[in-house]
Amino acid sequence: MAKRYNRIKAAIADAGIEQQELAKILGVSPDTVSRWCTNRHQPSVPEVFEIAEALGIEVCKVLETLERSKQEKPSAAE
């Protein structure tokens, strides 16, 4: 399985916006956002902060791996 470095795709979905809308807010091409969402390219550190601000989330929420996100969710047994 390919290693994931960001959860931008999930954060966009959680925010209820489209990738194209985020691209417009950030002033980047929709292709750039698509590459971030598929982890084919990673945003720069300043871009990560801009993404987090645009989505209204903390920076660390942009960078979480899928495995870490799953670990933080409480199980049904708790």
Residue 68 pLDDT exceeds 60: no
Half-sphere exposure in the Cβ direction for 77 (13 Å, CA):
0
What is the pTM (predicted TM-score) of this model?
A: 0.76
Q: Domains of the chain (ranges plus CATH)? A: 8-64 (1.10.260.40)
Which of 45-51's residues contact partners 24+ apart within 8 Å by CB, and which partners?
A: 48/6, 50/26, 51/8, 51/11, 51/22, 51/26
* pLDDT tens profile 8-63: 999 999 999 999 999 999 999 999 999 999 989 999 999 999 999 999 999 988 88
Please give the Cα distance from 58 to 52 (Å, whole number). Answer: 6
Which of residues 33 and 71 earns the better pLDDT score? 33
